[in-house]
Amino acid sequence: MTELQILFTGLLVLLLAATIVAQVMDERRPSPAVDNLIARINSWWIMVLALALAFFLGRTAMVLLFTVASFNAMREFVTIAATRREDHLAVAAAFFLILPLQYFMVWMDWYGMFSIFIPVYAFLLMPIVAVVKGETENFLVRVASVQWALMIAVYCVSYVPVFLSLDISGFEGKNLLLIAFLILIVQLSDVLQYVWGKAIGRHKIAPRLSPSKTVEGFLGGVISATLIGAAMFWITPFTFWQAGLMALGISLMGFFGGLVMSAIKRDRGVKDWGDTIAGHGGFLDRLDSLVFAAPLFFHLTRFFWMTNL
Amino acid sequence: MRRLLAHIMAGAIVLFARTLTAVRGVWKGVAPAPMRRVYFANHTSNADFILLWAAIPPQYRRHTRPVAAADYWLKNKWRAFIGRDVVRGVLIDRNPETRTLDPVSQMAEATDAGASLIIFPEGLRNMTSEALLPFKTGLYHLATARPELELVPVWIENLNRVMPKGEIIPVPILCTVTFGAPLAYNEDKERFLQAAYDAVLALRPDTGDT
């Protein structure tokens, strides 16, 4: 079996076990919390199957999957953003021009362009499109909202398929494993923080931002995700210690990503970004930690491991 | 042929609305049911009834007809096809001086034939910064004429941001359609309309600023 097959088999076993445990809990003592758990696990099935399909079908499917994820994420972001009708054209450009172009360049592997397209070109284009309407009220907030929508929901998310373009000697043809490593660690870290928090969480770590996050959950989750990451070194180009450090970085960025996105939600008075993914909320509720972890993990890998920089 | 085309078109419109707005019906005070109803909602966009329509399960959607202005929907062939065949609108003449049919009896007849109705009691699209404009009296007269109808208040959220007046490109924004508990009839016209107005406004989500 290849590493990827082992990985997905492991995930299926894990999900199967979770499904059985949740069903047993539901029969013994049904409660809204158990219902939510079942909804979450069911959504995990769909997410894992979608990812497995993209992994199996290859590059184009992977780019398409994350194009769709970005579209949904940006729609959630813009929905609660402080835009006005004067920003309509800027928002339309973000959805129908910038987003497809970014993923097209990711697909054609044009690193020199997709890595600066949104931070430079779109960053400057958005205020220009907005200023033409001549509405000055809240101008900075409005423009920044659209720029943030693009950076968070499109630029950062598009880093995931970009791993397929890396050129690491001795690791040819196995770049999918880097994506698997990233997503696995980010999501495991989230899940484990939740589990540790539920099990032994006492002290709130950020009561104003995210009342359910605890110090115990944070430490337990990050440490266990780091250990799992180190133990997974055999699917990566890293050594045991390097893999552990990478996993630590991914978990920490994921944690802070969750806090930042939560601060935005609280400021705008919503609990979840949406309700497209049963039990989890919206796409951004599931992507928030990935958004912050993916670019860092990509650039660290590229900087230290890429053959011809 | 025309029926089939209308059917396909209806499906396409709903699919498009879904893709763009991921529209979701929130059934707060009432569940989808086969009984004859009058859904009365806030009105900020020409696409309001499409969204409301898309939020109703397909088996009831076919019998749910929007009440709309004849002068708008009969302006050209294309609009007439959408207004008359696709959404099967009950088209009323807004001008009391020229009209030959009474709008309230038109609506009552449609419900007698088994339809549920979608109406916008504000009478015109709300372009102001007010959340909701005062209601016209049609809802009251319809309720008086057909007391057996269930009157369901509805709030449509965010659609005006999808395509503000004067824009031609719709943008993807999440929309919700919230259905509230049926309104009780009241003989007192003023009180009835006020209660109807309050019932719609009460469904407005309290997030965001406008």
Interface ipTM: 0.85
Closest residue to A92, CB basis, from B171, B207, B209: B171
- Do A15 and A94 lie in one domain? The reply is no
Closest residue to B174, CB basis, from A75, A95, A268: A75
Pick the residue from chain B with its C-alpha nearest to A267: B208
> Considering the entire predicted model, what is its pTM?
0.91
**pLDDT tens by residue, B52-74:** 989 999 889 889 999 988 888 88
pLDDT value of position A98 = 97
pLDDT at B209 over 50: no
CATH architecture classification, B2-201: 3-Layer(aba) Sandwich (3.40)
- Do A175 and A195 lie in one domain? The reply is yes
CB within 8 A of A43, min separation 6: which ones? A277, A278, A279, A280
**pLDDT tens by residue, A166-194:** 988 888 888 999 999 999 999 999 999 99
Question: How many CB atoms sit inside 10 A of residue B171's CB?
Answer: 24
**pLDDT tens by residue, A68-79:** 999 999 999 999
The residues spanned by each domain of chain B are 2-201
- Do A192 and A308 lie in one domain? The reply is yes
pLDDT value of position B98 = 82
- A309: confidence class by pLDDT, cuts 50, 70, 90: low
Question: How many CB atoms sit inside 10 A of residue A200's CB?
Answer: 12
- Do A106 and A241 lie in one domain? The reply is no
Mean pLDDT of A145-164: 96
Which domain-ending residue is among A135, A165, A195? A165
pLDDT value of position B208 = 45
**pLDDT tens by residue, A15-66:** 999 999 999 999 998 888 888 889 989 999 999 999 999 999 989 999 999 9
Structural domain containing residue A122: 60-165
**pLDDT tens by residue, B94-149:** 888 888 888 999 999 999 999 999 999 998 888 888 889 999 999 999 999 999 99
A92 has a chain B CB within 8 A of its CB? yes
- Do A18 and A154 lie in one domain? The reply is no
Return d(Cα A214, Cα A216) in angstroms, integer: 5
3-state SS assignment for residue B119: strand
Return d(Cα A36, Cα A39) in angstroms, integer: 5
Which domain-ending residue is among A19, A40, A57? A57
Determine the distance in angstroms separating the CA of A276 from the nearest CA of chain B, rounded to an integer.
Answer: 8
- Do A21 and A81 lie in one domain? The reply is no
A82 has a chain B CB within 8 A of its CB? yes
| Closest C-alpha to B65, from B83, B78, B80, B81 | B83
Q: Residue A286 to residues A40, A43, A188, A275, B57: CA-CA distances in angstroms? A: 11, 11, 12, 11, 28
- Do A210 and A152 lie in one domain? The reply is no
**pLDDT tens by residue, B75-99:** 889 888 988 888 889 999 888 888 8
Judged by CB atoms closer than 8 Å, whether chains meet at A275 and B207 is answered as no
**pLDDT tens by residue, A99-113:** 999 999 999 999 999
**pLDDT tens by residue, A255-306:** 999 999 999 999 988 888 988 888 888 999 999 999 999 999 999 999 998 8
Place of tokens 């899940």: A191
Return d(Cα A65, Cα A164) in angstroms, integer: 14
- Do A75 and A20 lie in one domain? The reply is no
A36 has a chain B CB within 8 A of its CB? no
- Do A81 and A199 lie in one domain? The reply is no
With a pLDDT cut of 70, the percent of chain A lying above it is 99
Please state the domain count of chain A: 3
- For A234, list phi and psi in degrees, rounded to 5: -70, -15
Which domain-ending residue is among A122, A148, A165? A165
pLDDT at B210 over 80: no
- Do A102 and A198 lie in one domain? The reply is no
Return d(Cα B174, Cα B18) in angstroms, integer: 9
Return d(Cα B123, Cα B119) in angstroms, integer: 9
Report B:154-173 residues touching A (Cβ under 8 A).
158, 161, 164, 167, 169, 171-173
With a pLDDT cut of 90, the percent of chain A lying above it is 79
With a pLDDT cut of 90, the percent of chain B lying above it is 51
Name B66's bridge partners.
B118
Judged by CB atoms closer than 8 Å, whether chains meet at A91 and B171 is answered as yes
Pick the residue from chain A with its C-alpha nearest to B209: A82
A76 has a chain B CB within 8 A of its CB? yes
- B207: confidence class by pLDDT, cuts 50, 70, 90: low
Cβ neighbours of B174 in A, within 8 Å: 75-76, 79, 274
Mean pLDDT of A122-151: 95
Pick the more confident residue, A239 or B82. Answer: A239
